[in-house]
Structure formats: structure tokens, C-alpha cells
Structure 1
Amino acid sequence: MKKLLFVLVLALAGYLYLEHTYRDGTASAPASTAQASAEPGAADSDSRIAEAFARHESNVQVSGRGVAARLLADDTSGSRHQKFILRLPSGQTLLVAHNIDLAPRIASLREGDTVEFSGEYEWSEKGGVLHWTHKDPKGAHAAGWLKHQGQIYQ
């Protein structure tokens, strides 16, 4: 019961933050955020990620949609990863670590763009990390993907 209450409070806080931010004129609501929350399943996947975050869970297969809030420099140590932060409809952020040694880079990605995703969630105190957004060359892990402007990257 306490866990459910915590998840509900987290979701409400995210909603209130977004409502305040967009109402006071400091930001404009991306059209894609409204679309994402209105589509069937979007709220369910967003709540599953919020639940995994609240419970400090990792190795959770998730899918959903978010808006690119910040583009980061590539991680070039070891396997190369394109990195960016998505803001989910709940307001939670998610760091995406997309392996560009195994999947194509999203070269056209810009802040404010909508990205759909399927991959593995790993807990972090800042909201979580999404990885395995590609096919597993060994076929042992569920294949993930990213979708941007109608094109799938995996």
C-alpha cells in the first residue's frame, strides 16, 4: 500500500510540475506530450517506469514515448553510445544510452522531438537509464528500438 501511495504521489508531483511550468508561461507544452498521454498504453508504460523508479528496480523491459529534453555528448569509452534525456509525459526524466556500435545513430534528433522507445530500464537516482535499444547480436536479450520521425533505429 505504501508503494502504491508513493507512486501516486510521484505521478501527481510530475503532473503538477508540468501544469505549473506550462501555465505560468515559462515553457510551452510540446504537442507531442499531449499526444503521448492521450494514446492507449502511453499512461500504462509511463506508470510502469514511475513504479520501477519508486521501487529502485532494474532490468525491466519498458516501452513508451517522451520528448528529447537535452542532447548529451556521446559516450566513447568502450562501446559508443548516443546519449540524450527524454522527459516522459509524467514529467520524469530518462537518460537514453543508445549503442551506436550496434544500431544507427539518430542523426536528425533535436531537443523538443518526440522519441518512442523500447528497451531495458535501469534505476538511477536521477530518473533511470534506458539501454538495450537495439537488437542483441547474440539473440539472448529482448530486442529494443528507438523511433524518431517514423524511422526505427535498432
Structure 2
Amino acid sequence: MKKLLIIFLICLGAYALVSRYPDSFSLNSIKTLLPFSKTELSTSDRALKNAFENKINGFQVGGSGKVIIILPDDNQGSRHQRFILKLESSQTLLIAHNIDLAPKIENLKVDDHVNFYGRYEWNSKGGVIHWTHHDPNGQHEGGWLNHGGKMYQ
């Protein structure tokens, strides 16, 4: 009963607000309150798309995507966990996560969602995100990965 009363009060308040300020609540103005719709890209997807199209390198960026390929770890030199994300824009990114400096995502699977923050480097396949970890020397801005609510940095 309490839930029904709360829902009713929320609807009543919304109705009163829209009735009092009808010009402020067009469909277009409501869309601007949402982070992005299916037809619009997030800010990070737009930045990555621009960087890819213009071959821009070396900037920090955050975003998220769906795992489409899990590659074998690169064990030459510093070890890196590698996988490919597909962004909402359909651009792909190789994630190269240094597992000598940060924990590996052990239970990563295709179709998992991963949030990232790291350094973008251009390549012809969509780009690479690296520095998804802390910098033990304090010379570089640290990055991270988030998978299943757990931070890897």
C-alpha cells in the first residue's frame, strides 16, 4: 500500500510540474535530460570516433563497451591481458591491461560489459587503450578497468 501511495504522489507531483510549466517539458527537452539515446553517442564514444577518424594519439579517455573477443595474454616484456571491446558506436578497441602492475580480470567472458579509463593510441582497427593501471613511478595519470563492479588498477 505504501508503494502505491508513493507512486501516486510522484505521478501527481510530475503532473503538477508539467501543468504549471508546459513549455519546459517538450519531448526534446526531456531527451536532453537523458545521458544519450540510442541514436546519440556518449561523449566518450564521440571523442574516440573523432580520434580514430583523425588519427589522434595519446589522450586519456574513459568509456565502456562489450567484450567481443578475448585474446591470449601478451607475455613478452611486461605482461598484458588483452581483449577487444565494441563500443555503442560500433568502433572496436583493443584493451591492453598491464597484469604486472594491476590484477588480471580472471572471470572475463565474451558479452561482458567493461568500463575503462586509460590512454588512447590510434591504430587502423579502432585503437588501443593502455595505462589502465596505476603508475608506480607517479609520472603518468593512472587508469583502471571496472568489470562486474570491481576495479582493476
What is the TM-score with the length of structure 2 in the denominator? Answer: 0.74
Query: Is the Cα contact below 8 Å between 1:52 and 1:60 reproduced in 2?
Result: no
CA contact (8 A) 1:53 1:127 kept: yes
Q: Does 1:147 align with 2:146?
A: yes
Measure the CA separation in 2 of the matches of 1:45 and 1:37: 11
CA distance in 2, matches of 1:77, 1:70: 20
- When Rg is computed on C-alpha atoms for both structures, the one with the higher figure is 2
Question: Distance between the aligned counterparts of 1:119 and 1:89, measured in 2?
Answer: 18
> Does the aligned pair in 2 maintain the 1:95–1:130 contact within 8 Å?
yes
Work out the CA distance in 1 between the residues paired with 2:87 and 2:36.
Answer: 9
Secondary structure in 1 aligned to 2:51?
Answer: helix
1:67 and 2:75 aligned: no
Q: Which runs of 5+ in 2 are unaligned?
A: 1-34
The list of structure 1 runs, each at least 4 consecutive aligned residues, that deviate by more than 3 angstroms after superposition, is none
May I ask how many residue pairs the two structures share in their alignment? 117
- Superposition pairs of residues 114-129 of structure 1, within 5 angstroms: 114-129=113-128
Q: Matches of 1:53 and 1:120 in 2, distance apart? A: 13
Distance in 1 of aligned mates of 2:56 and 2:62: 15
Task: Supply the distance in 1 between the matched residues of 2:57 and 2:80 (Cα, whole angstroms).
Answer: 19
How far apart are residue 114 of structure 1 and its match?
Answer: 0.2
Determine the C-alpha separation between the residues in 2 that align with 1:97 and 1:150. 20
Q: Secondary structure at the match of 1:142?
A: coil
* Other structure's SS at 1:68 match: strand
Matched residue, 2:23: none
The alpha-carbon distance between structure 1 residues 37 and 68, as it changes in their structure 2 partners (threshold 3 A), is farther
Q: Is there any run of 5+ residues in structure 1 with no aligned partner, and where?
A: 1-35
Q: How does 1:98-117 map to 2 (within 5 A)?
A: 98-117=97-116
**AA paired with 2:71?**
L
